[in-house]
Amino acid sequence: MKTIFQHIQGDKAIWAVVALLALFSFLPVYSASSNLAYLYGDGSTLPFLLKHFAHLLLGFAILYGVHKIPYHYFRGLSIIALPIVIVLLIITLSEGATIDGANASRWIRIPFVGVTFQTSVLASVVLLTYVARYLSRIKDKDVTFKETLLPLWVPVFLVLGLILPANLSTAAIIFAMVVMLVFVGGYPWKYMMIILGAGALMLTLFVLTAKAFPGVFPNRVDTWMSRIDNFTNDEDTEADYQIEKAKIAIASGGITGLGPGKSIQKNFLPQSSSDFIYAIIVEEFGLLGGLFLLFLYLFLLFRLVIVAYKATSVFGRLLVIGVGLPIVFQALINMGVAVELFPVTGKTLPLISSGGSAIWVTCMALGMVLSVSAKREIVKKESQEENPLDILSEAI
């Protein structure tokens, strides 16, 4: 054990929280996968548990590998990765694979491997890293909106425009994180108002276009509108089925829960091992289990703030905020959906829900945060931190 701790670097509290979340995830995933086992398997939940274990194992390998990379290398890597991500999003939008009847434009199937990957989650980390890099370059400089339009906002709206048709919630979260990041990075307020207006206009035009030509994006706008209507409407409808079952599960849990593996609503609640796994957790572990999980995410948020505050460069500070905070933000949204604080969004619970691409990209983002906390960089001014990737970044 001592040998293991010698090889990991960075904030030990973040390592501990990630490990606790990963270990805890096996219980609800194993339990909630029973309905999937009967629907798509032979009734055994063991294959789903082993699949989740494989996802976490690869995720921790990514986490370990990324946290060993000096974080200032991510500046240049974001320049290289952004065009690749844009190409992947175009492929996903045009040739996305259907997963258990879910929207066909969120995943791509990796050839020869048979593994599906949700490209929007990778695009989120790459884009926010790119934005953090650009903001660190213009920090304390007087820039005009015209100067920032091409290098900053064109890539942002291009990525969002490719994600929006299939995944409104992800596009909205990314846009909110970008706005938060540019605010923290000191971007002028008057320019931010222009961007917020442009974002609202872009969404309005898309909705109107989808309504006028329903064959282009079939059912997507109708799905969003129905989710919002169901959230604001008190009348019981068939579309409220998921939320109603989630609330029954939470109410059945009480203070201490029914016990591990004893959930009843897992047999009726769709996406019980992913989108609505928090409801199953509360049903089996009660209010105490739900609050403990909430505490872990809030503690992770606290440690992210500490790492950002102690970062020795502007880029490091913005990188932690950009790739770290969305993890906690997504967790709070997932929990809020389960208790009907938010409309259904389809967002998973980070490191808890089953699913490969979400776990892998979350681990990659946490590895980047741990790289910053490890302080492996040479302590110089940011402009003096030159390496081949940084030179490429400066040239572009």
Mean pLDDT of 42-66: 88
382 — pLDDT class (breaks 50, 70, 90): very low
d(C-alpha 64, C-alpha 363), whole Å: 9
Per-domain boundaries in the chain: 17-395
Dihedral angle at the C-alpha atoms of 348, 353, 354, 359, nearest 10 degrees?
A: 70
328 — pLDDT class (breaks 50, 70, 90): very high
The model scores a pTM over 0.85: yes
126 — pLDDT class (breaks 50, 70, 90): very high
Mean pLDDT of 340-366: 88
Helix (H, G, I), strand (E, B), or coil: what is residue 115? strand
Alpha carbon 222 to chain centroid, angstroms? 24
d(C-alpha 75, C-alpha 129), whole Å: 7
Helix (H, G, I), strand (E, B), or coil: what is residue 97? strand
- Paired tokens of 266: 């897992």
Give the model confidence (pLDDT) of 300-325 as tens digits: 999 999 999 999 889 999 999 999 99
d(C-alpha 278, C-alpha 331), whole Å: 10
Count of CB atoms within 10 A of residue 344's CB?
A: 24
54 — pLDDT class (breaks 50, 70, 90): very high
The answer on pLDDT for 18 being more than 90 is yes
In the chain, % of residues over pLDDT 90: 43
Question: 182 or 215, which is more confident?
Answer: 182
pLDDT value of residue 263: 86
Distant-in-sequence, close-in-space partners of 138: CB < 8 Å, separation ≥ 6: 148
236 — pLDDT class (breaks 50, 70, 90): low
- Looking at the DSSP bridge assignments, the partners of residue 97 are 107
Give the model confidence (pLDDT) of 127-158 as tens digits: 999 999 999 998 888 888 889 999 999 999 99
Question: 260 or 269, which is more confident?
Answer: 260
- Looking at the DSSP bridge assignments, the partners of residue 82 are none
> Contact 149/164 with Cβ under 8 angstroms?
no
